[in-house]
Structure formats: C-alpha cells, structure tokens
Amino acid sequence: MSSNQSIWKDRRVLVTGATGIVGSWLCKRLVEEKASVVVLVRDWDPQSEFIRAGTIQNCCVVHGALEDYSSLERAISEQEIDTIIHLGAQALVGVALRSPLATFEANIRGTYNLLDAARVHRDLVKRFVVASSDKAYGDSDLLPYTEDMPLNGRHPYDVSKSCTDLLALTYAETYGLPVSIARCGNIYGGGDLHWSRIVPGTIRAALENRVPVLRSDGTNIRDYIFVDDVVDAYLRLAEMSGSEGVQGEAFNFSPQSRINVLEITRAILRLMGRDELQPIIESNAKAEIQDQYLDASKARERLGWSPFYALEAGLRKTIPWYHTFLDSQA
C-alpha cells in the first residue's frame, strides 16, 4: 500500500523527529511524492538515515527544539505549513526513567507547544497527526488494547505518551483542530540506532560476533511493526485526519501478531544463521510493562489500512541495512 501521490504533491508538510527511524523513511517518501518537506531538527546526527541518505538536501531545515514555542510558530507561519506530522519525542523508556523532567519537557510541553502553534495558524493547518505509542495505555490485564480503553500510564515514558494523547484530543475537541493520533507498538527497521532496543541490538551483536543481552526476562510480549508499514499508516492517517470519523480520533496500528522478546531475538539469530549465539538474560529491566499488543480493527475499517510486512519479511529487509551501515563505520 502506498499513499496517493496527488494528495502530497506540493503539500507543505512539517515533520518533527525527522532524524529518527520513522522520520527518516517518512521524509524520504514525502520527497519522492513531491511534497515540500520542512523538518524541525534539534541535534545534528550524521549517522541518521535522514542525513546519510541525503534526504535532508531536499528538505527545508528549521533548527530548534520542541520546547521552544517560537521556533514552532515561526516554522508553521513562515513556511505556510498545511500538514503536520509530529514524530518528535524523547522515545526511550530507559532515558525517561533516568531523566523524567527532560522527557516531560520534550514529550508534553513539546506537544502542547506544537498544538497551540497550529491553533494560532488554523487557517493554514489542515492535517495534523500525532505519533503516540501503545505505552499510552499503560499496564492492563485486558488485551489487546482497543482505542476506547483508558490512558493509564504510570511510569515516566508511559505518562508522557498518555498526556500527549489527551492534549491532542483536547485541541481536536475544544478548538476543532484536525488532529488524529497514531498508536503503534515496537517499530523496527533500518535506521534505528538506539542499540538498547531489541532488534538493532541483537542484529549488531550477531554481526559483531557477540552474544545478545536481554535486559528483561525474555517473556515480555510485544507488537513489532515494520517501519514501512508505519510510514504508510501515518500518511494514510494524515490524508484523512480532517475527515468525519477520523478527526479527533486515535488509531492503533499493528500487524496483530504477538511475540515475546526471547522469541524475536531467536528469530533474528536464525535469519542471520547465528543460532549458536544463545542470548544472556539479565532480567533487570525496570519500569517495563509486561505484555502489550494492539487491536487494529478500527484502522482497517475506517482508514482501509493493513500492514504489508509479516515479521520475518520485515526482518529480512532490516538485517541487510545494518550490515551495510556497520560496514561503513568500520
């Protein structure tokens, strides 16, 4: 599935979080579809796929942080933005545990700053997608998560995403802003350089002939969704975010498969021909929800979205990216 090129040609799209895994591939897709892409960049990371692939050369770069309202307002006004895809966030559970204030500043203040700047320029902004997470639901005995379940984060990262969602819904309900929310599980694919995450960490360990190390006990169940499917989901949601039944709504995006951490680690090692590297299980993870997986029925029914990649197919596309990347760093 791909988005309709006629929808994006000459659209002026602001993407936050462009240097992250999803932002890198999303911006590449938007450039290919002839959108005018504006990105907010806080830190220069030459290893980001967004920079390495040269996508940045085809985008307008606004330097600033989500916490700085004036940078966001200026970007929307001066660049005449009609679509916002808000990916920018402090996205690591472990970092949030160590630095909750910085996480709240980026994820909560950053979101309401951007929402309010869009409210001020409501005459320009016609589409607005907020990228959230299954973490917004918090821990629940009832699974899979559905969009009508309460937002019940308890740990710093989870709370920051619960707040992000509530803020987005507030601006949709109170001010009529054309905002929709995307909730995904664990996103994987080339370009994720957060080595503490299970997919890139396991691939790098195998390529470097090291045994993978699991922080958890390996039994945590998660959704894993390939980055190309996420890009399709965000673009489809953005296309329809001002529509009835979509504006002011949250949508789960998931392949609706479930696998635990130890199983996906072994699957990666098997695909790489490194079954002999038996993972070390440290079982010392903190502030981690035990099991999380999503029901994506609403996205199928209202958006016509469904994932293209099964887990093995997505991993087969992911592993060569890291092989090439790590070879280039040697």
pLDDT (tens, 9 = 90+) of the chain, 330 residues, equals 444 446 899 999 999 999 999 999 999 999 999 999 999 999 999 999 999 999 999 999 999 999 999 999 999 999 999 999 999 999 999 999 999 999 999 999 999 999 999 999 999 999 999 999 999 999 999 999 999 999 999 999 999 999 999 999 999 999 999 999 999 999 999 999 999 999 999 999 999 999 999 989 999 999 999 999 999 999 999 999 999 999 999 999 999 989 999 999 999 999 999 999 999 999 888 888 999 999 999 999 999 999 999 999 999 999 999 999 999 987
SS3 string, 291-304, reads ECCECCHHHHHHHC
pTM: 0.95
Q: How far apart are CA 313 and CA 317, in angstroms?
A: 7
CB 283 within 8 A of CB 220: no
Residues 40 and 144 in one domain: yes
- Asked if residue 315 is part of any domain, the answer here is no
Alpha-carbon Rg for the chain, nearest whole angstrom, is 19
Say which DSSP state 213 is in.
Answer: E
Write the single-letter amino acid at 93.
V
Residue 122 covered by a domain: yes
Domain-located, residue 316: no
In a domain, 105, yes or no: yes
Ramachandran bin of 284, using left for φ above 0, alpha for ψ from -120 to 50, beta for the remaining angles = alpha
Contact 134, 120 (CB under 8 A): no
Q: Are residues 278 and 149 in the same domain?
A: no
| Upper half-sphere CA count for residue 174 (Cβ side, 13 Å) | 9
Helix (H) or strand (E) holding 25: helix 21-32
- Do 263 and 172 reside in the same domain of the chain? no
In a domain, 23, yes or no: yes
Which letter, b or e, does each residue of 19-38 get, where b requires 16 or more Cβ atoms within 10 Å of its Cβ?
bbbbbbbbbbbbbebebbbb
- Is 30 within the bounds of a domain? yes
Same domain assignment for residues 100 and 229:
yes
Does residue 58 sit in helix, strand or coil?
A: helix
Q: Report the CATH number that the domain containing residue 138 is assigned in CATH.
A: 3.40.50.720
In terms of residue numbers, what domain contains 262? 198-219+257-290+321-329
Q: Is 19 helix (H, G, I), strand (E, B) or coil?
A: coil
Residue with tokens 């709504």: 249
Query: Exposed, middle or buried, 263 (CB in 10 Å: 0-12/13-18/19+)?
Result: middle
* Residues 157 and 169 grouped into a single domain: yes
For residues 93 and 21, state if they share a domain.
yes
Please tell me whether residues 155 and 300 are part of one structural domain: yes
Structure tokens at 256: 């609706």
Could you tell me if 160 and 245 lie in one domain? yes
Task: Output the six-digit token pair for 72.
Answer: 């966001």
Kindly name the residue from 112, 137, 145, 157 that is annotated as catalytic.
157
CATH of the domain at 269: 3.90.25
> In the structure encoding, which two tokens stand for residue 114, read together?
């951007």
For residue 231, report the phi and psi dihedrals to the nearest 5 degrees: -60, -45
The number of distinct structural domains making up the chain is 2
Given CA atoms 20, 24, 26, 31 in this order, what sign does their dihedral have? positive
CA–CA dist 231, 227 (Å, integer): 6
In this structure, are 181 and 211 located in the same domain? no
How many CB atoms neighbour CB 214 within 10 A? Answer: 21
Asked about 69 being catalytic, the answer comes back as no
For the chain, the residue count is 330
279 and 247 assigned to the same domain? no
Measure the CA–CA gap between 5 and 311, rounded to whole angstroms: 27
